[in-house]
Amino acid sequence: MENVFLNEKITEVEKKIISSLKIPSLILMENAGLNSASYIFRNYKKETAGEVVILAGKGNNAGDGFVIARNLISKNVRVKILMLFGEWELKGDALVNFTVLKNLKSSYLRIIQCGNLNLLKRNIHPENKLIIDSVFGIGFKGIPDREIASVIKFINKLKNRTVIAIDIPSCLNSYCQGHDSVKADVTLSMGVKKFHSMFYEGKNSSGKTEVINIGIPSVEFSKYNRNKIYETSVNDVREFLPLRKSDSNKYSNGKVFILSGSEGLTGAAYLCSSAAAKSGAGAVITGIPESLNDIMEVKLTEVMTLPLPETEFRSFSLQSYSRIEEKLKWADSVLIGPGLSKNEETAELVRKIVKENNLNYVIDADGISAFWNHTDLLKNRNIILTPHIGEFANLTGKSVSGIRNNFYTEAKEFAKKYKVVVLLKNAPSVITDGNYFYINPAGRENLATAGTGDVLSGIIAALLSQTGNVIMSAVSGAFIHGMCGDIIYGKSGDSSTLASDLLNEIPEVKNFIRQA
């Protein structure tokens, strides 16, 4: 697991680490600038062939920029520093490094005062292909003043440039902010990733994020990760994925029972059932409304089907409970929800199942809607809920915007209150048990298509059937699902993915993870 810190917490944490290790902040700035310069020179050789522009503020973010400039100059890269504030406003470590830089008196360096937009425009030329943003760092609060806002808009409109932000894009302080920040192609995050750079506007502004070593071991950051926010790594999933014993049989490798499908939504049943089988479950039985069973028997060759009594709307009826109960006793995990419909009798059946049977559940889609105004039935169960933000808003009675703007707190508090695991489908998705909070790094916009959530729920149900571990089944299932999407993105881009395309990638991804 990789540490992630809320933006508002990281400055305090760094101060504690500095105090604990007795390491001068000037050394950390040197490490940050040196390693950033090395990254830039290694990955942007073509862009550094011309004069590199560094936009500098007046705080420690500018200090990082000055160290970057010095180290690029040592590699014979020409650097032009555009000062957005006066030299007299510099202080502390930033002033120290600015003084060192000036004392170099290098022919590869130009320092230009650009206190307004017109001066800035005159000094950024077409041949300046690389712009480094070191104006404002993590300490920026509020909104930019008119002059800075105009500078940001100008930078964001430049074409055919690579913009690299140092630590965070300037003027980014929240993933849901209403003002502009620098739109970077790459953000070099110092030491650890920052929460607000990973979601919504923060993600759009940050581009690709790379963590830069500043000389503080990750174990030191871990000591102060009080919020327990982590990004999943491939190593975490590899350690969790179950391996079959050589003398195992289909019933010892995880038994999944699925309740899915209704009129017009048999595709959901096919997708989640196939995903469960592909993800390692030894046996999968899918309950389906009886009039739809013939369709599913054709579609699901390897998955057994169970035709069940239905309502007049061709969804599950309460009369099916006794037959379902038999399979609940058989199953190691139970998936309820994909394509279930919002029929009230079906919803009552779902609530009855969960209320009377304490099992390992994955509840998705229409299964979640069955618990609107009935959330107390979820308490103290081994349940993984997999809502998107709209479903979670309905479940909690909050607005969609309220959930979106505060999903960290809302998801964590709900999971803690009801003692369940919440996998909130987001961009990126997040998983929490109320104590730990995991961010899934895999998956892109091509997964925003109908049916991909059904595949996700099937993967998780299979992992849960084999391990009984609700939190890691959700974390690992999201990671595998996202990696499947990433592979397809590489083949067909951002908008041509079908949910069924993911199925054939599941074995490849699992093998890759095991060998990583």
The pLDDT of residue 290: 97
Could you tell me where the DSSP H helices lie in 337-469?
344-356, 366-369, 389-396, 400-405, 407-418, 452-467
* Number of other residues whose CB lies within 10 A of the CB of residue 42: 9
Q: How does pLDDT run across 417-462, given as a tens digit for each residue?
A: 999 999 999 999 999 999 999 999 999 999 999 999 999 999 999 9
Q: How does pLDDT run across 69-100, given as a tens digit for each residue?
A: 999 999 999 999 999 999 999 999 999 999 99
Element (H, E) at 57: none
- Bridge partners of 83? 56, 113
Is residue 340 a contact partner of residue 259, using CB atoms and an 8 Å limit? yes
The distance in angstroms from the start CA to the end CA of the chain is 15
Q: How does pLDDT run across 314-334, given as a tens digit for each residue?
A: 999 999 999 999 999 999 999
For residues 484-507, average pLDDT? 95
- Bridge partners of 285? 257, 304
Pairwise CA distance, residues 184 & 43, whole Å? 15
Name the fold adopted by 2-225.
Rossmann fold (3.40.50)
Judge whether residue 270 has pLDDT over 90: yes
Q: How does pLDDT run across 199-234, given as a tens digit for each residue?
A: 999 999 999 999 999 999 999 999 999 999 999 999
The answer as to CATH 1.20.120.530 being correct for domain 236-515 is no
% of residues, the chain, pLDDT over 90:
95
Q: Where are the domains of the chain?
A: 2-225, 236-515
- Bridge partners of 437? 229, 432
Judge whether residue 169 has pLDDT over 90: yes
Residue closest to 26 by CA, chosen among 72, 63, 70: 63
For residues 508-515, average pLDDT? 95
- Give the C-alpha distances (Å, rounded to integers) separating 190 from 36, 65, 165, 200: 9, 12, 11, 20
For residues 153-164, average pLDDT? 96
Compute CA 247 distance to the chain's CA centroid, rounded to the nearest angstrom.
38
Pairwise CA distance, residues 122 & 112, whole Å? 11
For residues 165-194, average pLDDT? 96
* Number of other residues whose CB lies within 10 A of the CB of residue 361: 27
Judge whether residue 18 has pLDDT over 90: yes
Burial class (CB in 10 A: 0-12, 13-18, 19+), 20: exposed
The pLDDT of residue 132: 98
Element (H, E) at 46: none
The pLDDT of residue 516: 84
Q: Determine how β-strand 421-424 pairs with β-strand 430-432.
A: antiparallel
